[in-house]
Amino acid sequence: MFLTGAALLHAGFTNLYLRYVKAGLQPLLLASGAILIVTALATVWYEWRSRKSGETHEHGGEAHDHGEGHVHREPRISWLLVLPLLALILVAPPALGSYSAMRTGTALQQPYGFDKLPASGPLDLNVVDYATRAVYDRGRHIAGRPIRITGFVALDRTGAPYLVRMALNCCAADAQPVKIALTGTIPPVLQPDKWLQVTGTYTAQQTKDPVNNGPIPYFRVTAATPVPTPKDPYDESWNN
């Protein structure tokens, strides 16, 4: 329990937790780690007091053992349970990327409504926002305006490029991709899982995801710039 609590605190106080759960769960993660550590320390104290009170006492010059006469010890192999915890602390797993994205159907969902956009200037949209506006709003509020979008690159079996962001409800286990097909001025060499910021405009062209037949809108690229992997690689906006 102590090591599990320490691992949770380590993940919660660093960006490591973002590889597993959404940012909003950080307080609960830290609280869980603290509770586990306190519980572990309380258990050790209780065991120490129990053993101390069970020691041999002298009554009228005669020694009596109030214990069972032998001690039950946990099997040493149980310490192997520490190895996954050490892996959690020492080895950060990569975020889900193009391999998972191209083997999972797009998770694009029709929203209840759209947030108001700035009246002028370039639009900074995430992958989910652009995809939902392009498909379900038919680009009415983004057509003709310069747009910037950031995501990671994924290539299908034919080499066609997509810009993807993995969207999640609560944790990485339920992450699903939202995809944008790229057209226009695309860099001649694209590496899967590399992050790009693309600038361009809306186009009404659409395609179907071969995995689940879901809609995938196109984006006409005029410029593309490599960018570092963001601190939080997942997109949490689709269920907000």
Q: Any idea what the CATH number is for the domain that residue 133 is in?
A: 2.40.50.140
102 and 61 fall within a common domain: no
Segment 67-76 shows an average pLDDT of 58
* Same structural domain, 132 and 231: yes
- 167 and 52 fall within a common domain: no
Task: Report how far residue 240's alpha carbon sits from residue 229's, in angstroms, rounded to the nearest whole number.
Answer: 23
Beta strands 195-208 and 161-167: pairing type?
A: unpaired
Least confident of 23-27, 44-48, 137-141: 23-27
Residues 102 and 32 in one domain: no
Q: In the structure, what pLDDT confidence band is assigned to residue 237 with cuts at 50, 70 and 90? A: low
For the stretch 196-215, pLDDT in tens is 999 999 999 999 999 999 99
pLDDT per residue as tens digits for the range 158-203 = 899 999 998 877 666 677 899 999 999 999 889 999 999 999 999 9
For residues 178 and 153, state if they share a domain.
yes
Q: Are residues 32 and 151 in the same domain?
A: no
| pTM reported for the whole predicted model | 0.68
- 56 pLDDT band (50/70/90 cuts)? very low
pLDDT over 70 at 53, yes or no:
yes
Q: What is the pLDDT of residue 220?
A: 97
Give the range with max mean pLDDT: 70-84, 97-111, 224-238. Answer: 97-111
Out of 71, 90, 109, pick the residue that ends a domain.
90
> Who's near 93: CB < 8 A, 6+ residues apart?
19
Query: Among residues 63, 90, 117, which one ends one of the domains?
Result: 90
Q: What is the mean pLDDT of residues 41-62?
A: 67
- Highest mean pLDDT (candidates 52-56, 100-104, 106-110, 192-196): 192-196
Per-residue confidence (pLDDT) for residue 59, from 0 to 100: 45
Q: Are residues 166 and 185 in the same domain?
A: yes
Across the chain, what does the average pLDDT equal? Answer: 81
Are 75 and 121 in a shared domain?
no
Average pLDDT over residues 51-65: 53
Last residue of a domain, one of 40, 58, 90: 90
Question: Domains in the chain: how many in total?
Answer: 2
The verdict on 131 and 218 lying in the same domain is: yes
- Report the pLDDT value the prediction gives residue 28, as an integer from 0 to 100: 77
| Dihedral in degrees, nearest 10, Cα atoms 159, 187, 122, 149 | 40
For the range 43-46, what are the long-range contacts, defined as Cβ-Cβ under 8 Å and sequence gap of 24 or more? 43/1
> Is residue 181 located within the same domain as residue 68?
no
pLDDT at 61: 44
DSSP codes of every residue in 38-72: HHHHHHHHHHHHHHHHTS-EEETTEEE--S-SS--
Residue 119 confidence class, pLDDT cut points 50, 70, 90:
confident
Give the C-alpha separation, 20 to 95, whole Å: 8
Residues 66 and 132 reside in one and the same domain: no
Residues 111 and 200 both lie in one domain: yes
| Per-residue model confidence (pLDDT) at position 62 | 47
Structural domain boundaries, residue 26: 2-90
